[in-house]
Amino acid sequence: MRFMIDLHSHLLPGLDDGSPDLQTSLAMAKMAVEDGTRLMACTPHRTPGLYDTTADQIRSSVSAFRTELDKAGIPLTICGGSDIHICPELPELLAAEPEYRLAKSDYFLFEPPHQFLPPRLIELVEKVRAAGFRPILTHPERLRWVRRHYDVFEGLIRAGCLVQVTAGSLEGRFGSEAKELAWRMLDEGRIDIIASDAHNLTSRPPRLSAAAALIADAAGEAEQWRMTVERPASILRNEALEPVGMSSVEQVKMQQTPTRSRAPQRLWERLLR
Ligand SMILES: [Fe+2]
């Protein structure tokens, strides 16, 4: 089995609406490993007024959970990050607190509101890009306004947002509208990575394999590999990635010829060293 990388999860206990306690977190970690994930970013919500997760909390919670994983013998490597809700002071916040970024790279999970399109969203992305940070737009297929404002979604990509679709959306776990949009984004070649956005063991589990199989069927093994291993690994190594959706669909398709020269297992081993 190819081992996968999951860059969006709410696995840390007691910080947000994800895992409530250590026992659940360990069970989720075990489930992720059994599903084929070996490296996971723990990304609690940072939503002002709702989840005021601090950088210190992320740092200490990742460290404590790493110890617990070792004690339990669960072979899951974790790193920190945050599912960070948009706010006007985002560039300053990211500069001041590396813990909010994925493994302290320049990349971070960028979460707009679900119910409405906020004003000046593209300008905010341009500001964070100008400050040297790299946004990854989380689950656009589940944002209620994206269907009506698809041009803004495309504008976010052009402004430099990578796109993370939630694995469960491709399976239909978030309803028919999210499924339809996720598949449209896949068909158009606009998805950079998939992630579980796991919150629990049941309705939002830490699984990628079912969606990965669907992607392999629809877009090929090579593209599935890029979405679940190669691009997440590049992000954690802080390599510069252009959004795949930035090119026209035709150009993206031409770029999606398999690149087998990079041996999967060796890439994995290099990342974990
Ligand atoms: Fe999330």
| Span 235-248, pLDDT tens digits | 999 999 999 998 74
What is the spatial distance between Cα 91 and Cα 131, in angstroms, rounded to a whole number? 6
Ligand 1 center from residue 250 Cα (angstroms)? 31
Tokens of 162: 């990578």
Ligand 1 center from residue 268 Cα (angstroms)? 25
Ligand 1 center from residue 251 Cα (angstroms)? 31
Neighbours of 105 (CB within 10 A): 18
Domain parsing of the chain, residue ranges: 4-272
Ligand 1 center from residue 203 Cα (angstroms)? 14
CA distances (Å), 123 to each of 97, 146, 161, 163, in order?
22, 17, 12, 17
- pLDDT at res. 67: 98
Ligand 1 center from residue 135 Cα (angstroms)? 14
What is the spatial distance between Cα 207 and Cα 168, in angstroms, rounded to a whole number? 8
- pLDDT at res. 269: 44
Ligand 1 center from residue 10 Cα (angstroms)? 6
Ligand 1 center from residue 111 Cα (angstroms)? 8
What is the spatial distance between Cα 10 and Cα 83, in angstroms, rounded to a whole number? 9
Length of the chain (residues): 273
Ligand 1 center from residue 257 Cα (angstroms)? 31
Tokens of 160: 């430099």
Per the prediction, the chain carries an average pLDDT of: 91
Tell which wins on pLDDT, 252 or 211: 211
- pLDDT at res. 253: 42
> Pairing relation of β-strands 77-80 and 4-6?
unpaired
What is the spatial distance between Cα 154 and Cα 16, in angstroms, rounded to a whole number? 30
Q: What is the pLDDT of residues 35-90, one digit of tens each?
A: 999 999 999 999 888 898 999 999 999 999 999 999 999 999 999 999 999 998 99
Ligand 1 center from residue 166 Cα (angstroms)? 9
- pLDDT at res. 255: 46
Helix (H) or strand (E) holding 46: strand 45-46
Ligand 1 center from residue 8 Cα (angstroms)? 6
Q: What is the pLDDT of residues 127-164, one digit of tens each?
A: 999 999 999 999 999 999 999 999 999 999 999 999 99
What is the spatial distance between Cα 231 and Cα 162, in angstroms, rounded to a whole number? 10
Ligand 1 center from residue 272 Cα (angstroms)? 24
Q: What's the CATH architecture for 4-272? A: Alpha-Beta Barrel (3.20)
Q: For the chain, what percent of residues have pLDDT higher than 90? A: 86
Asked if pLDDT for residue 216 goes beyond 60, the answer is yes
Tokens of 164: 């993370």
